[in-house]
Amino acid sequence: MVEDEVSLANLIKEGLEDEGYSVDLAYDGEEGLYLALNEPYDIIILDIMLPKMDGIEIAKTVRSKNIRTPILMLTAKDTIQDKVLGLDSGADDYLTKPFSFDELLARMRAILRRSFGEVKNTVKVADLELNLDTHEVKRSGKVIELTSKEYALLEYLVLNKNRLLSRTDIIEHIYDYNYDFDSNVIDVLVARLRRKIDKDFDKKLIHTVRGVGYMVKE
């Protein structure tokens, strides 16, 4: 997220992390552009009026580098002309301030579903079912309680089912870039998730490729 109002940025970051997202913050346009060009993200939340470089220029530069990361503009600029300019610069959606946090979450979920090729709010692998809106997880109809990080990992694996994800892929997806983690943090998290998702079921869905990473497959 690129937002120069520090208190607002920190408030949104805290709210998103409570929902299981990992959030990197930039407080000016130059830092925001650097992160957008050099780090892999699922979505960029971008203000327009920023120090050093505005959001329109950031969006245009990101798109000129053929980076397709979805962009949600979150800004006080609310005229039709502003919205047209923002969308034409490469944004996928546009939300004006003041805004409802629930609407921000809903728009993010919609963008992320489209970017992962999902149009429904529920995804399934075998008898495992995830609701992308409510974060409810069921296996064979039984509700499974997960922590926010366990859910974030499971969602990432499920949305990339049959694709091998390295530990680096997973770390970059579910932790912010300032996170100081132990080398086995992902192994521990996967082990916890396995106990909840696979332990009591004959069919195992979470698979390990030793020395490489993890994947979900039927």
What pLDDT, on a 0 to 100 scale, did the predictor assign at position 183?
62
What pLDDT, on a 0 to 100 scale, did the predictor assign at position 210?
87
Cis peptide before 98 (omega within 30 of 0): yes
Amino acid at 98: P
Assess whether pLDDT exceeds 80 at residue 127.
Answer: yes
What pLDDT, on a 0 to 100 scale, did the predictor assign at position 115?
79
CA 54, CA 30: separation in Å to the nearest integer? 9
Percent pLDDT > 70 in the chain is 95
CA 211, CA 106: separation in Å to the nearest integer? 37
Kindly report the CATH number that applies to the domain delimited by 122-216: 1.10.10.10
Percent pLDDT > 90 in the chain is 67
Looking at residue 146, the DSSP 8-state letter turns out to be -
What pLDDT, on a 0 to 100 scale, did the predictor assign at position 118?
62
Kindly report the CATH number that applies to the domain delimited by 6-115: 3.40.50.2300
Q: Do residues 206 and 198 make contact, with C-beta atoms less than 8 angstroms apart? A: yes
Q: Could you tell me where in the chain the CATH 3.40.50.2300 domains are found?
A: 6-115
Q: Could you tell me where in the chain the CATH 1.10.10.10 domains are found?
A: 122-216
pTM given for the model: 0.68
What pLDDT, on a 0 to 100 scale, did the predictor assign at position 119?
56
What pLDDT, on a 0 to 100 scale, did the predictor assign at position 33?
97
CA 120, CA 187: separation in Å to the nearest integer? 30
β-bridge partners, 45: 72
